[in-house]
């Protein structure tokens, strides 16, 4: 600390009406809105900080990280300046501002921080014309529950000023502690720049048998792998964990330099966007492939020749093979969780293991509550997210290490393991199509008509013929969730009906609206 104390300023502002966080305390908007609209980012950051009770906020520790996308460095600086002005005592920040979402959750839990701010728009594109986002994780390391998101939104609608230290500057590249003297503050404000991988890697070492995975990747008949970080945050993690720690050749990892625009690509690990990996796997040279999204919480698994493992199957296969993981042999398995759109493949495994399955709305915050109460050990969503109670976030690299552990233990290929699973538990089919840029009026008509369809009692028992097969409607539902922990009711989450029937109904809606193209049906 040198020179005069840094002044703390109060800046007048006016509220924006569109800062309602989506599920989990996150605000995701076009980057130009954050960058160009006056005080748009400071307003939301102040709303987040003000949602923490003053007594809990003063002198507390928080974690800050980003996926490295465009505008992250500027936003990190603003977050630091505002955290200091709002009485936060210490910030833990990844070197160069980089921290994966699972690593943020890990650090929050490890150091018992008050929460964390993650600058990410997940799997959405980056760059000036892309997306930017701010996500708030609470003290358990998980996404903010709805009550916190609602509080943030209410504050954002009435905000009149925010506090900031505009002259405070930090060096994100320099590991170690930096301290700053602030006006009217009795204690210095501290920033600690940490290696983005180390704390998270130490946790992984306690979960997995690293020697077994290393033997798989380096021993006789080694498994050749191909892992695509998609120029997101996971590059440093892939190199340090899979290559340096577990011995995979350096050329096993591709697109490992985090870029502000993700190399102009869409950092979404699926068959549509992870085409570089898919083409490499189709050649047959590699026995295992994986890709991660921008912030590292989603993943995709491929086998030799491009054999695709669906997220719902991946979750079920992981559940059926948890005995391969030392962590679960020690901790046991208490229950499973899946989002409503995820296939019921997991339910078959749970029945065989005699453990409960909790069906929740989409959003990891619902799983966090189950895990905090000790009800749930493993959770997953059809949107390529899986995790366990080691954190309160979905965790892409953890899922990849689980798969490598299963391969090491069973000494089979990815495809053999999947086909054995189908033979034992049956195969569950899942299909997803996405509407993008649909007009609100058309959206309203689709949901209105689908809800009318599935709530009509005469719909049960109807039959639909497709080719030589006839399908009968067994169940329909307008899904709502009652949290078994606190009794909270979450309504109007989804319309549940047989895929064939909904597809036929949507085709009729397309005819009326003139809409052609992707649809969401599960």
Burial of 509 (0-12, 13-18, 19+ CB in 10 A): middle
Q: Rounded to whole angstroms, how far apart are CA atoms 196 and 237?
A: 8
Burial of 107 (0-12, 13-18, 19+ CB in 10 A): buried
Tokens of 348: 């078959």
Tokens of 432: 């997803």
Strand 307-309 with 336-339, pairing: unpaired
- Answer whether 203's CB lies under 8 Å from 267's CB: no
Tokens of 413: 């290929």
Can you tell me which residue has the tokens 């309602």?
20
- Answer whether 258's CB lies under 8 Å from 68's CB: yes
Q: Which residues are within 8 A (CB) of 376 and not within 5 positions of it... i.e. 6 or more apart?
A: 334, 335, 336, 337, 358, 367, 370, 389
- Answer whether 281's CB lies under 8 Å from 306's CB: yes
Q: Which residues are within 8 A (CB) of 197 and not within 5 positions of it... i.e. 6 or more apart?
A: 103, 236, 237, 240, 241
- How many C-beta atoms surround the C-beta of residue 432 within 10 A? 15
Q: Rounded to whole angstroms, how far apart are CA atoms 477 and 278?
A: 37
- Of 50, 51, 105, 122, the catalytic one is 122
Q: Rounded to whole angstroms, how far apart are CA atoms 25 and 138?
A: 9
- Answer whether 39's CB lies under 8 Å from 163's CB: no
Is residue 122 annotated as part of the catalytic site, yes or no? yes
- Answer whether 137's CB lies under 8 Å from 105's CB: yes
Q: Which 3 state secondary structure label does DSSP give 479?
A: strand
Q: Which residues are catalytic, by number?
A: 122
């Amino acid at each position: 600390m040198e020179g005069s104390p840094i002044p703390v300023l109060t800046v007048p502002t006016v509220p924006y009406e569109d800062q309602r966080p989506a599920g989990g305390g996150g605000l995701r908007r076009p980057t130009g809105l954050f960058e160009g609209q006056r005080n748009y980012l400071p307003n939301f950051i102040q709303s987040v900080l003000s949602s923490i009770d003053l007594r809990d906020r003063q002198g507390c520790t928080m974690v800050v990280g980003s996926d490295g996308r465009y505008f992250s460095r500027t936003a990190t600086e603003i977050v630091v300046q505002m955290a200091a002005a709002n009485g936060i005592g210490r910030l833990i920040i990844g070197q160069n501002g980089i921290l994966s979402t699972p690593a943020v959750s890990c650090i929050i839990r490890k150091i018992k921080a008050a929460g964390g701010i993650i600058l990410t728009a997940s799997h959405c594109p980056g760059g000036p014309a892309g997306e930017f986002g701010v996500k708030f994780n609470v003290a358990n390391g998980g996404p903010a529950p709805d009550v916190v998101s609602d509080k943030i939104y209410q504050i954002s609608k009435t905000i009149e000023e925010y506090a900031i230290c505009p002259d405070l500057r930090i060096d994100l590249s320099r590991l170690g502690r930096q301290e700053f003297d602030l006006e009217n503050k009795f204690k210095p404000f501290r920033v600690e720049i940490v290696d983005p991988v180390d704390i998270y890697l130490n946790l992984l070492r306690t979960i997995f048998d690293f020697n077994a995975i290393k033997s798989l990747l380096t021993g006789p008949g080694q498994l050749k792998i191909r892992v695509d970080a998609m120029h997101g945050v996971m590059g440093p993690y892939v190199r340090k964990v899979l290559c340096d720690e577990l011995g995979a050749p350096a050329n096993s990892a591709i697109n490992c330099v985090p870029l502000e625009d993700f190399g102009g690509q869409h950092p979404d690990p699926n068959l549509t966007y992870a085409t570089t990996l898919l083409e490499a796997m189709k050649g047959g040279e590699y026995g295992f492939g994986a890709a991660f999204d921008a912030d590292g919480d989603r993943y995709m698994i491929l086998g030799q020749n491009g054999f695709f493992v669906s997220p719902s199957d991946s979750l079920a296969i992981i559940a059926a093979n948890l005995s391969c993981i030392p962590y679960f042999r020690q901790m046991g398995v208490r229950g499973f969780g899946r989002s409503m759109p995820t296939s019921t493949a997991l339910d078959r495994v749970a029945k065989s293991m005699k453990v409960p399955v909790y069906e929740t709305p989409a959003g990891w915050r619902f799983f966090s509550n189950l895990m905090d109460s000790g009800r749930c050990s493993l959770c997953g969503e059809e949107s390529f997210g899986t995790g366990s109670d080691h954190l309160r976030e979905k965790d892409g690299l953890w899922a990849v290490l689980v798969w490598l552990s299963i391969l090491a233990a069973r000494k089979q290929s990815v495809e053999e393991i999947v086909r054995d699973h189908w033979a034992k538990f049956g195969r569950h089919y899942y299909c997803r199509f996405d509407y993008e840029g649909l007009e609100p009026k058309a959206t309203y008509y689709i949901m209105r008509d689908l809800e009318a369809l599935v709530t009509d009692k005469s719909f049960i028992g109807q039959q639909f013929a497709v080719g030589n097969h006839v399908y009968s409607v067994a169940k329909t539902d307008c899904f709502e969730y009652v949290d078994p922990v606190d009794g909270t009711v979450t309504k109007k989450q989804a319309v549940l009906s047989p895929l064939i029937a909904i597809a036929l109904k949507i085709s009729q809606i397309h005819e009326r609206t003139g809409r052609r193209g992707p649809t969401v049906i599960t």
